[in-house]
Amino acid sequence: MPIALLLILAVLSFGTPAYSLTGDEILKTVDGNLQPGTYESYRKLINIEPSGAKREFILYTLKKGTDKVVSLFLSPSSEKGRSTLRLDENMWLYIPNVARPLRITSLQSVVGGVFNNADILRLDYHAEYSVTDLKDDGKQHLLHLKAKSGSVAYDKLKMWVDKETMLPTRIECYASTGLLIKTLYFKQTKAYGEGIRRPAVVETDSPLQKGYRSIMIFVKITRKDLADEVFSLSFLPKVGTLR
């Protein structure tokens, strides 16, 4: 039998090696599934105290690329008109009738509760983290992530990614000391149209804030072309005009 035919039969018998994604490719896929490159969204944030008391916020949010996010408070009335801007690791809070926007940090929270500003004005994970290890956890990938700089809110993340949907199911957030700061739980995957399908609910709790929980509900996500001007300090009073 000719050698060429033997080689063809060998390939047919054993097949070709399956292509495996790298950790960084998985992370970029997760980012693309969680949020389009440029979009607008409406979210509800709910803070729940140990007593059962709740406080709710509604945010209109715009994001462009990997380093620009702006959010506008629609409710409650005490917060209405306030807006926050993030450009890379720089963040500001605009309060109507205050002379100039105030600088804020990633670990602070403009809404209180367990979510901090980095969670609320989140950039793509691959923009802030590198994958240091990838494990197969049955039906999930387990990614170990390390912050690319010291200015990132969490030094390390452990991210569990469903292999079928390529969406996260849980993320544990750690300080550089190894202390667990909080855990994020991704639930209720929903189709939003235009090919966007992602968890509608993100819940979080923290061993540092026992009994407290915060919930983020994505009500609407829509692709939207946005000018760079939208993500500037001078535009903060006018974010509501884009609704």
Secondary structure letter of residue 124 according to DSSP: -
What is the C-alpha end-to-end distance of the chain, expressed in Å? 71
User: Above 50 in pLDDT, residue 15?
Assistant: no
How many helices and strands (H and E) does the chain possess? Answer: 4, 13
- Is cis: bond before 237, omega within 30 of 0? no
Closest by Cα among 91, 96, 99, 48 to 73? 96
Q: Give the architecture-level CATH label for domain 18-242.
A: Clam (2.50)
pLDDT tens-digit series, residues 67-93: 999 999 999 999 999 999 999 999 999
Q: Give CA–CA dist 134/130, Å, rounded.
A: 11
pTM comes to 0.88
Q: Give CA–CA dist 212/206, Å, rounded.
A: 8
With bands split at pLDDT 50, 70 and 90, how would you rate the model's confidence at 19? low
Where do the domains of the chain lie? 18-242
User: Above 50 in pLDDT, residue 57?
Assistant: yes
Q: How high is the mean pLDDT of the chain?
A: 92
Tokens coding 51: 């007593």
pLDDT tens-digit series, residues 131-155: 999 998 889 999 999 999 998 999 9
